[in-house]
């Protein structure tokens, strides 16, 4: 399941992020890739202990807790602190699948990546190329979203970032361990949630709203692993 989450950051916030990130201490991104992925990776990243990365990362983490669409779609149990990357000068990241398990710097915590997230920090007309291409079961999806918007997709999928041939592409990226590990179950819960919201908006007093809401929680109770 791929879900677009609009407006995670406001236009003013992305503007601030951009000006801070333009002056940041960018490093070669290959250092953080595994052996296989490093062969196809050509971008720059901020070190995880970079004070600016820590500051912006905490801001995004706090914000995510308030974005109801993110909470409904991801059903997050643990969220890895967002990292930051930049693609310029034909930089790209060829086909790869993300690691399964991540460590949290400075904490004895490990996170299983169920979902991958990319939060776009600059506007689509700031750069050419830089599409995130996600190989779905039946189709390839091309994703390039406005600044402040985010895409969530299953971490198990093959994906790539196409070469950035003009300008710079800035993004935050991170992984989420979900309460519900199976993508299809998460997709059904989101569909049920959306259906209940629609029904409750049209006929708030209909007794089915209460029954369906109960069903939602009982399914989540059955499927959630904490």
Residue number, 14 or 37, with CB nearest to Ni ion: 37
List of residues 6+ apart from 134 with CB closer than 8 A: 2, 140, 141, 143, 153, 157, 158, 159
Residue number, 64 or 117, with CB nearest to Ni ion: 117
Residue number, 113 or 148, with CB nearest to Ni ion: 113
Residue number, 164 or 189, with CB nearest to Ni ion: 164
Scanning the structure block, which residue is given the tokens 């693609």? Answer: 87
Nearest distance in Å: CB 172, Ni ion: 13
Nearest distance in Å: CB 129, Ni ion: 16
Separation in Å, CA 40 to CA 115, 154, 158, 164? 21, 20, 13, 14
Nearest distance in Å: CB 37, Ni ion: 7
Which is nearest to 187 in space by CA: 104, 127, 115, 119? 115
Nearest distance in Å: CB 164, Ni ion: 15
Which residue lies nearest Ni ion, judged by its C-beta? Answer: 98
Positions in the binding site for Ni ion (CB under 5 A): 98
Nearest distance in Å: CB 151, Ni ion: 12
């Amino acid at each position: 399941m791929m879900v677009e989450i609009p407006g995670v950051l406001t236009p003013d916030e992305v503007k601030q992020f951009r000006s801070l990130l333009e002056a940041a201490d960018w490093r070669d991104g290959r250092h953080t890739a595994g052996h296989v992925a490093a062969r196809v990776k050509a971008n720059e990243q901020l070190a995880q202990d970079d004070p600016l990365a820590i500051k912006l990362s905490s801001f995004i983490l706090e914000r995510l807790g308030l974005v109801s669409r993110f909470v409904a779609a991801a059903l997050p149990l643990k969220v890895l602190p967002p990292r930051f990357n930049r693609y310029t000068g034909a930089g790209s990241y060829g086909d790869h699948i993300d690691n399964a398990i991540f460590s949290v710097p400075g904490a004895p915590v490990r996170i299983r990546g169920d979902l991958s997230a990319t939060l776009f920090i600059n506007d689509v007309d700031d750069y050419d190329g830089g599409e995130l291409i996600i190989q779905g079961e039946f189709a390839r999806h091309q994703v390039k979203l406005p600044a402040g918007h985010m895409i969530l997709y299953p971490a198990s999928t093959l994906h790539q970032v196409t070469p950035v041939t003009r300008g710079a592409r800035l993004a935050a990226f991170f992984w989420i361990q979900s309460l519900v590990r199976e993508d299809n179950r998460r997709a059904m819960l989101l569909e049920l949630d959306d259906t209940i919201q629609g029904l409750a908006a049209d006929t708030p007093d209909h007794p089915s709203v209460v029954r369906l809401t109960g069903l939602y929680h009982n399914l989540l109770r059955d499927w959630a692993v904490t």
